[in-house]
Amino acid sequence: MTTQEEINLPFNEMIEPKLLRHRVVSPQLYSEIHKRSLDQGPQFWESVARELDWFKPWEKTLDDSNPPFYKWFVGGEVNASYLTVDRHANGWRRNKVALIWEGEPWSDGPKEVKKLTYLDLYREVNRVAYLLKEEYGLGKGDTMGIYLPMIPELPIFMLAAARLGVAFTVVFSGFSAQAVADRMNDAEAKLLVTADGGWRRGKVVPLKDIVDKALESTKTIRNVLVVRRTGQEVRMEKGRDRYLHEVLSKVPQNAYVEPERVKSEDPLYILYTSGTTGKPKGIVHGVGGYMTLLHATMKWAFDIRDEDVFWCTADIGWVTGHSYIVFGPLMEGATEVLYEGALDYPEPDRWVSIVERHNVSVLYTSPTAIRTFMKYGEQWITKHDVSSVRLMHSVGEPINPEAWRWFFKLVGKERIPFGSTWWMTETGGILITITPGSYMVPMKPGTNGPPILGVAANVYNDEGKPVPEETKGYLVIERPWPGMPLTIHRDPERYVKVYWSKFPGTFYVGDYAVKDKDGYFWILGRADEVLKIAGHRIGTYELESALIQHPAVAEAAVVGVPDPVRGEVAEAFVILRGGTSVRPELKEELVKFVRENYGPIAVFREIHFVNKLPKTRSGKIMRRVVRAVATGSEVGDITSLEDEASVEEIRKALQEFK
């Protein structure tokens, strides 16, 4: 691609040119370059994919014979563990630090910092793969579960499973027993890896106890491996549970397991994510396309280089961590930080001290984290030296311009690229962002920017027609992209229905968006019944289900309401069972109940007790109406309501709360 026409724009002259691959290009030029990338069709991705190491090259770039079950790089054979570990351990990066792990416990400084080189990682991954294969007989076609805190064993197990072609499913360690059980059952996992406990804000989360509870209702788990992290006593069931260090002590130090030659379109992992209705969906990601998108975005969005120290502050339990802690940075041979605990523990500047002590140069964090830092005040940042940082992005929810400006000034010193990368569990990797590592367009506070090269994003109206500029509509992806899901695990019909039926032939994202006159996308938030609480994706339906499991609750409606720090929190309207007395402590009890049964990521502004909920004549709760009342916006058409008095009921409850 030609770079001759690049224009140096005064608009972004605050960015130091030496921090960029090329000079900043105008949005018009970018859109021409982007158009050319699309004109090439799927072949555009070949040059990116060729930079990966394939055991066998692909024969067909995109198999679109059975839409929407698209297959990328068909005929190719590859292995994600080989790409992330072997390539570097067998090359000049073997003694380069891959992971700088920092444990949460702190007394006058971090109590534990461990560095693993690529050779260390290679050894560990091989030994664990050996164990999984020889001791537990796992191989291609099997699935296993991982429920671990942010300790090195978490990426090691993921990479060991990938090495064998075993699909894994990671459950975020902030989820509770029910979530673990549901996921293990749906994934039909045979083995579950967990820890005795995990550190969170100075307290131990009893992971093994949670697993014991979960395993009361799982059908397929035969064995449990327990990593000793916190050291407390846990129950070990004979014949089922074993400590990792004990079984691993029998595995030779130099154990080697040949990486399985998996097909490009074979599953790498299943990751469960919330939708509008029903239980979370198991999004299945394959190997070849997924790794190709990660390679592209590590280069284009993060401009990753060997001198970098990369830090993504997400948890590996979510897709951000899968893609941009485990597979992306390690594939690029980067040095990265893996931090176990809360960013503001024991003091609000824990995260800044990590940046300073480890010389973090590329920082990937979230709007909710930034708003929390804002709340604490800038003095926590200014007392540290953050000059190592040369590039930043945020992810997970829209970033409000004030938060963007604040962070750009304090950490970015108004001279480094700072973007908001849009993507989701389903997309596998970043699809919309400014790309300082290739052609960067001028930044605008709060925007996501244009789609990356090769990706066709658009904004549609209800009829499936593109909307004019500056008009709100639904975000869609009009063409297949590498990194797209293979399917929903064990439910291909749902995959078609949820993503490909609203606008046939086009991937429906579920977000509202606006495209501006420069072709920048501004993602506005979810268009469905999905909440983003502190960036965590939670279905309102899941919180309602958790509430109605409480013996006092007959019915519940949950909606999202804006929150200055978390972006959004839940607000619940509950009908109590007949005969339940409204005790003053009942609200607290319900909140506690949900947090115990779902996970502590469920945060409520308030729980209201009402006598009626707005429902359609067929009995469906009209959350749209509830949300409108709760957020003080237009209620709109309520002619399909069974009983209009129910709206008043919600209003009254809210007034009493104020």
Residues engaged in binding ligand PRX (CB under 6 A) = 273, 318-320, 395-398, 420-425, 448, 509-511, 523, 525-526, 532, 537
Residue 254 CA neighbour count, 13 Å, CB half: 0
Q: CA 66 to CA 175: how far, in whole Å?
A: 36
Q: CA 167 to CA 205: how far, in whole Å?
A: 26
Q: CA 225 to CA 227: how far, in whole Å?
A: 7
DSSP H or E stretch at residue 648 = helix 645-657
Helix axis angle for 540-548 and 586-597, nearest 10°, is 120
Closest to ligand PRX by CB, 568 vs 606, is: 568
Closest to ligand PRX by CB, 437 vs 614, is: 437
What residue type is assigned to position 626 of the chain?
Answer: V
Task: Find the shortest distance in angstroms from Cβ 398 to ligand PRX.
Answer: 4
Task: Find the shortest distance in angstroms from Cβ 324 to ligand PRX.
Answer: 9
Which tokens go with 558?
């949950």
Task: Find the shortest distance in angstroms from Cβ 55 to ligand PRX.
Answer: 30
Task: Find the shortest distance in angstroms from Cβ 639 to ligand PRX.
Answer: 30
Task: Find the shortest distance in angstroms from Cβ 285 to ligand PRX.
Answer: 12
Across 148-248, where does the E strand assignment appear? 167-170, 191-195, 198-200, 203-205, 223-227, 241-243
Q: CA 25 to CA 377: how far, in whole Å?
A: 35
Residues in the chain: 658
Task: Find the shortest distance in angstroms from Cβ 525 to ligand PRX.
Answer: 6
Closest to ligand PRX by CB, 187 vs 601, is: 601
Closest to ligand PRX by CB, 533 vs 556, is: 533
Which tokens go with 651?
């209003």
What residue type is assigned to position 212 of the chain?
Answer: D
Beta bridge pairs of residue 476: 458, 508
At a CB cut-off of 8 Å and minimum separation 6, what does 282 contact? Answer: 169, 183, 186, 187, 270, 271, 272, 488, 489, 490, 491
Closest to ligand PRX by CB, 223 vs 487, is: 487
Task: Find the shortest distance in angstroms from Cβ 482 to ligand PRX.
Answer: 16
Task: Find the shortest distance in angstroms from Cβ 276 to ligand PRX.
Answer: 12
Is residue 100 within 8 A of residue 335, CB to CB? The reply is yes
Q: CA 344 to CA 346: how far, in whole Å?
A: 6
Closest to ligand PRX by CB, 116 vs 459, is: 459
Identify the CA nearest to 380 among candidates 412, 345, 350.
350
Closest to ligand PRX by CB, 361 vs 420, is: 420
What are the phi and psi torsion angles at 458 (to 5°)?
-155, 175
Closest to ligand PRX by CB, 552 vs 602, is: 602
For residue 399, is it left (φ>0), alpha (ψ between -120 and 50) or beta? beta
Closest to ligand PRX by CB, 333 vs 398, is: 398
How many helices (H) and strands (E) the chain has is answered by 21, 30
Residue 155: is it exposed, middle or buried by C-beta count within 10 angstroms (0-12/13-18/19+)?
A: buried
Task: Find the shortest distance in angstroms from Cβ 331 to ligand PRX.
Answer: 18
Closest to ligand PRX by CB, 97 vs 524, is: 524
Closest to ligand PRX by CB, 138 vs 534, is: 534
Task: Find the shortest distance in angstroms from Cβ 549 to ligand PRX.
Answer: 24
At a CB cut-off of 8 Å and minimum separation 6, what does 579 contact? Answer: none
Residue 270: is it exposed, middle or buried by C-beta count within 10 angstroms (0-12/13-18/19+)?
A: buried
Ordered DSSP codes for 446-506:
T--BSBPTT--EEEE-TTS-BPPTT--EEEEE-S--TT--SEETT-HHHHHHHHHTTTTTS
Task: Find the shortest distance in angstroms from Cβ 585 to ligand PRX.
Answer: 33
Residue 87: is it exposed, middle or buried by C-beta count within 10 angstroms (0-12/13-18/19+)?
A: middle
Identify the CA nearest to 436 among candidates 300, 297, 298, 306.
300
Closest to ligand PRX by CB, 68 vs 280, is: 280
Task: Find the shortest distance in angstroms from Cβ 217 to ligand PRX.
Answer: 26
Task: Find the shortest distance in angstroms from Cβ 158 to ligand PRX.
Answer: 17
Is residue 580 within 8 A of residue 552, CB to CB? The reply is yes
Closest to ligand PRX by CB, 118 vs 512, is: 512
What is the CA 353 to chain-centroid distance, rounded?
A: 24
Task: Find the shortest distance in angstroms from Cβ 286 to ligand PRX.
Answer: 17
Closest to ligand PRX by CB, 531 vs 654, is: 531
